Amino acid sequence: MYDCMVQGTHVVGDQTATLILNRHPGKRDGWRAYRVMVDGNKVAVLNEGETRELTLSPGDHEVWIKLDWTRSPKITLNLAEASRTHLQCRAGGSPWMEPIDASFRPTRYIELTEPGA
């Protein structure tokens, strides 16, 4: 488990929330590590097929996944104390569209969703 002391975020005692991130295998970016961003700070890396648990303070957090100049859309989460929130990510699009996605849709290059959404 990663403890994320995000700049400007203070965790006091047991007042924490857990963010669980899973990266699904895909047909592109398999050998590249994605950077997990919370409130503008890199808090972890996520390799293909990995799951990470991040400890955050309760409250609002902006989360996205980054690879070079590309990224996922940003998601704003309101984490309750002692909550466990799940997100999943994967490379967006197909391998054939990679140059187009990276050049013309860099904020949609990676998918970031809540399971079942």
Give the CATH number, domain containing residue 27: 2.60.40.1120
The contacts of residue 55 (CB under 8 Å, 6+ apart) are: 1, 2, 3, 4, 11, 16, 17, 18
Token pair for 61: 């957090």
Range of the domain at 47: 2-113
| Least confident residue range of 50-54, 99-103, 108-112 | 99-103
**Can you name the residues that pair with 84 across neighbouring β-strands?**
18
Q: Which pLDDT tens digit goes with each residue over 32-89?
A: 999 999 999 999 999 999 999 999 999 999 999 999 999 999 999 999 999 999 999 9
Give the pLDDT confidence score for residue 26 in this predicted structure. Answer: 83
Total number of domains constituting the chain: 1
C-alpha to C-alpha distance for 50 and 42, rounded to whole angstroms: 17
